[in-house]
Amino acid sequence: MNANGEGIEHFGYVDGRSQPLFLVEDIHTEKTETDGISVWDPTAPLNQVLVPDHAAPDPEVHFGSYFVFRKLEQNVRRFKQSEETLADQLGLVGEDRERAGAMIVGRFEDGTPLTAQREEGAESPVPNNFDYGSDAAGAKCPFQAHIRKTNPRGSGGAEEPPRERLHLMARRGVPYGERADDPNADLPPSARPSGGVGLLFMAFNSVLGNQFEFTQAIWANNPGFPIPPDGAKPPGLDPVIGQGPRPESVYPTEWAGTRTVTADPIPQAVTLKGGDYFFMPSLAFLRGLGGKG
């Protein structure tokens, strides 16, 4: 956890902040935290995550979900070195060097979205009420940034925003592995683990092909998504979870500036160690199993 008690993954970034919300109380809390001014609406219908459980007593009222489980190993040493290398190539100095990692992920380590002008002191919970309407050219958050690739918030350019939202899924991540270093300490990349730690990724879907599989194949692993402005270089793969050959990518040297640099590819630092698809049944089905002893 970080200083605010928020969960972080092994690369050091607040994890799981942006989720589709289904329950009235969660939606109300989110809107209260943003003073009722909605830029990004996190709400989603329950049928985006639930499907009838035909093995339950009454599928009309008993629901389950298609469940994705993956074990993702993280090479923290390689990722943190990538941040340093990118900062050097962009000529970033002082506190602005943190923006290199933020351009890979799309958020600063404390969770502040790169599209927002960062202020001193992290907010808690970190902001989620943003979109890319003010950043059509990718001058604040590069198109290839992880969170922009996996949730373009209506800016992907390939579909109308309502259809784009149908690809989102409910996700949860659990870090695994023990570390000898302090994740919150200011240490060189060489002091970070190169294996043995990672994330247990879980996702709930109603249509695997249109949610998890679509997000991986059509968004994260598609070098042409999001669709950049005419004449702009394709963004390349998701630098965090993308799998395959990685081309050079373009990054702004200043936040919201016009000067850019074509930097070396971010080397792959996340490796799939295993996983599978499951059906998560309804509670009614599970209770039925207990009654057949």
Q: For residue range 180-196, what is the model confidence (pLDDT) as tens digits?
A: 999 989 999 999 999 99
pLDDT tens sequence across 277-292:
999 999 999 999 876 5
Position with higher pLDDT, 122 vs 66: 66
C-alpha torsion sign, points 104, 107, 110, 116: positive
Q: Quick one: average pLDDT of 7-24?
A: 93
pLDDT in tens, 137-160: 999 999 999 999 999 999 999 999
User: For position 73, what pLDDT does the model report?
Assistant: 98
Give the pLDDT of residue 189.
98
Q: What is the mean pLDDT of the chain?
A: 93
Cα R_g (the chain), whole angstroms: 20
- Three-class SS of residue 174? strand
The answer to whether 152 and 219 have CB atoms below 8 angstroms apart is: yes
Residues 173 and 11: their CA atoms lie apart, in Å, by: 13
The pLDDT value given to residue 292 = 53
Residue 248 corresponds to which amino acid? E
Length of the chain: 293
* Beta strand residue intervals within the chain, DSSP E: 51-52, 63-74, 170-176, 198-205, 249-252, 260-263, 270-280
- Locate tokens 């294996």: which residue? 195
What's the pTM value of the predicted model, to 2 decimals?
0.94
pLDDT tier at 120, thresholds 50, 70, 90: very low
The stretch 82-108 carries a mean pLDDT of 97
pLDDT exceeds cutoff 80 at 22:
yes
Mean pLDDT across 152-177: 97
Is the model more confident about 6 or about 55?
55
What ranges do the domains of the chain cover? 24-290
